[in-house]
Chains A and B, each alone.
Chain A
Amino acid sequence: MITKIAKFLLWLAFALVLVGAFFWAPLKEGLGPYTRVLYFHVPVAWMSVVFFLIAAYYSVMYLRKKEIIYDAYAKISNEMGILFAILATVTGSIWAKMIWHSFWNWDPRETSIFILLLIYGAYFSLRAALEQEDRRARLAAVYSLLAFVTVPFFIFIVPRIYFSLHPDPVINAQGKVNMEARQRIVFFSSLITQTIFFLWVFSIRLKQARVKYRLRELNESKLFEE
């Protein structure tokens, strides 16, 4: 019963966010209709980072417990992560073209999402190249953690390099700067709603993985019984 109510509220929240984004929140001058990208671009980029962190967690769990289900979880997290990273890159790029008239500028945010895409891409290439299940799980987990270790460097290095290359301050004014009250409401509710929604989708996929592996376990044990 509670889950039904929760699902309904989530649905309602999402509907309200969409209505708010397209009809209720005022448009920023100069940006015009492109203001709306903000309500979807930032949550999506945020989700890709969240899934990256979740994947690192499940990688650690796999290496510690060696239960294949953790590898399945890590793979699912990375799949969702790369999906959101691609969405973030595309929406951000379109927005950049509209605002700054250039699809790609190598500003810190763009560079970070690009690096995240590279890491995800490398992770899936590695998984594709390994056939044995336990080897694949192990090495993919190791790579996930290796990538996780290098990420803090990007957070510190990239802004420095940016300032030394480009003199004019472009970006970053977006999230912080003057959003009117309505825009702020829609923005934060969009962020929260999308986070909850996509984490819920993620938990369903995890459940799916659990069922699949349980079925496999049962099938294999039946084999031995005969």
Chain B
Amino acid sequence: MREAWLIFVKDIRQEFKTRYAVNAILLFAIVTLSAVSFAIGTFSAGLEILAALFWIILFFSSMSGLSHIFIREEEAQTADTLKLVARPLHIYLGKFLFNLLLLFVLEIILIPLFMGLMNFAVANLWLFILIVGIGSFGLAGGGTIVAAIISKASTKGALFTVLAFPILLPVLITGISATKTVTQAAAIAEVQGELQALFAYGVVIITAGILLFDYVWNE
């Protein structure tokens, strides 16, 4: 486990130097948010639509940022060294933690911006944050394994979105549904089903990722 942590810390340090993934993901989110806000203009969109828009922005921003972790390894040609240094399980966990942190950073910035700019009000803020937080585990888990798959392919950018979308769709569907409910209801009991589904999905996709990562990583 220590190796996973070391890989995670190494990736953070590298990220600090170049800030590539953070920039990509934040700028995408801000641009999309601005475009949506501008398009809606002075009209107020219904809370349900805003719930869906939030997840769309979150989802597509993560599409632009989550694959970076493996593509950088391939491009810098450090992937082979990494293979020698650590076991696949640790590599997957380290990269997963990095992607999770990336998503949390995005959400910390996106949630206040979105709520402020779009007049998006929820009945229970902590519940909303919980939903997004649990969903992020699923997004990071699925995103990491798909990023590993496409890092070996030739056309990386568009392929990541194409591959990740069907895999991550349960998070999107459940997240939107839960967020819609939370705009009206403040009790956790209302979204309990969705929270369970998100949690279960997170567990399943991370497990599948750990099991399959071996086959992706080792040639």
CA distance A134 to B219 in the complex (A): 9
* A153 proximity list for chain B (CB < 8 A): 170, 197, 200-201, 204
- DSSP majority for the A interface? helix
Q: In the assembled complex, which residues on chain A have CB atoms less than 8 Å from the CB atom of B215?
A: 63, 138, 141-142
Shortest C-beta distance, B156 to chain A (Å), equals 8
B130 to chain A, nearest CB (A): 18
Asked if B149 is at the interface of the complex by the 8 Å CB criterion, the answer is yes
Structural contact, A150 and B205, CB atoms closer than 8 A: yes
Q: Which residue of A lies closest to B180 (CB)?
A: A164
Q: Taking the complex as formed, is A145 at the interface, i.e. its CB lies under 8 A from any CB of chain B?
A: yes
Question: From B174, which residue of chain A is reached at the shortest CB distance?
Answer: A157
A208 CB–B CB distance under 8 Å: no
Within 8 A of A (CB), among B158-190: 159, 162-163, 165-167, 169-170, 173-174, 177, 180-181
Known: A142-B216, A146-B212, A161-B177. A135 touches B201 (CB 8 A): no
B197 near A157 with CB under 8 A, answer: yes
Residues of the A chain whose Cβ atoms lie less than 8 Å from the Cβ of B205: 149-150
* B19 contact set on A, CB distance < 8 A: none
> How many positions in chain A have a CB within 8 Å of any CB in the partner chain?
31
- Contact of A130 with B166 in the complex, beta carbons under 8 Å: no
When C-beta atoms are compared, the residue in chain B nearest to A145 turns out to be B212
Q: How far is the CB of A86 from chain B (nearest CB, A)?
A: 16
Residues in A with CB closer than 8 Å to B145 are: 142, 146
**CB-based contact A121/B162 at 8 Å:** yes
A139 touches B149 (CB 8 A): yes
Told that A115-B169, A125-B163, A142-B145 touch, could you supply 19 new A-B pairs with CB distance under 8 A? A119-B166, A126-B159, A126-B163, A129-B155, A130-B152, A139-B153, A142-B149, A142-B215, A142-B216, A143-B149, A146-B146, A146-B208, A149-B204, A150-B201, A157-B174, A157-B197, A158-B173, A161-B174, A164-B180
**Contact surface of A with B, Cβ cutoff 8 Å:** 63, 115, 118-119, 121-122, 125-126, 129-131, 134-135, 138-139, 141-143, 145-147, 149-150, 153-154, 156-158, 160-161, 164
